[in-house]
Amino acid sequence: MASPYASVTFPDGTTLSSNAYTPEQLQSVLQTLGYGMLGINPPTYSDGRVRQDWQQTGQPAMSVGQDVLSIRTTEEDENYSKIRDLSYEPFDGQSATAVYTYQRTWKCYFTNYGPNSNACARLIIDCMFLPWVHDYLAQNRLYLVPDIPRPVYLKELRDGQYWARTDLWIGLNEAVTETLTQAPIATSVEVIVEYVAEQGATFAEEVNIVPPQS
């Protein structure tokens, strides 16, 4: 679902458009990837095997013996994400567009439940270094941070039972492009130059300055 703030027009007439992910959009991308990494092709979203955290539809509960992968994402505060590169698109005679590119780093949590939770976490780490996973992530403007911590296996007490659980998190860099467009914009400037001749008469000359066309 697209964010209503993917494109916003401000009071000064400029429009800012961004292709940055929302957490829910990123989780949807990773949900599809999760099915692939577990060998479920094509994905069978209705079975609840791979879920997005805090989902409002689908299967809300699971049994203690059921293998389930839950995915949650949150943005990391990285110094590199504060650096933005600026360029300009060629002038089209009507509008001026500035292009900002930068990187966001996400912390992606893969929480595995079930008797095979630890094996699933190990498999996810292995898959992150496979060419097809790299290509899938790159197609979605995502790039792996290869320093992956080892998964943590623990038991969670729920409903009077101990549930097998393995926590894993992986860092991903997102390439973001944002454009700031000003339209309409002046395409020329008229300048009147006045000068005085030797006899004292005043003359005026109009000069029309037009920016170069790309």
Q: Could you tell me the residue ranges of all domains in the chain?
A: 7-186
pLDDT single digits (tens) 10-45: 999 899 999 999 999 999 999 999 999 999 999 988
**Is the whole-model pTM more than 0.95?**
no
Mean per-residue pLDDT for 124-152? Answer: 97
Checking if the pLDDT of 114 tops 90, the result is yes
Mean per-residue pLDDT for 203-209? Answer: 56
Q: Helix, strand, coil proportions of the chain in percent (round to 5)?
A: 20, 45, 40
- The predicted structure's pLDDT at residue 139: 98
- The predicted structure's pLDDT at residue 192: 66
- The predicted structure's pLDDT at residue 148: 96
Mean per-residue pLDDT for 187-212? Answer: 59
Mean per-residue pLDDT for 82-105? Answer: 91
Name the helix (H) or strand (E) containing 157: strand 152-158
Of residues 16 and 202, more confidently modeled: 16
Mean per-residue pLDDT for 178-191? Answer: 74
pLDDT single digits (tens) 49-86: 999 986 666 555 788 889 999 999 999 998 988 999 99
- The predicted structure's pLDDT at residue 113: 94
Rounded mean pLDDT of the chain? Answer: 87
Total Cβ atoms within 10 A of residue 176: 17
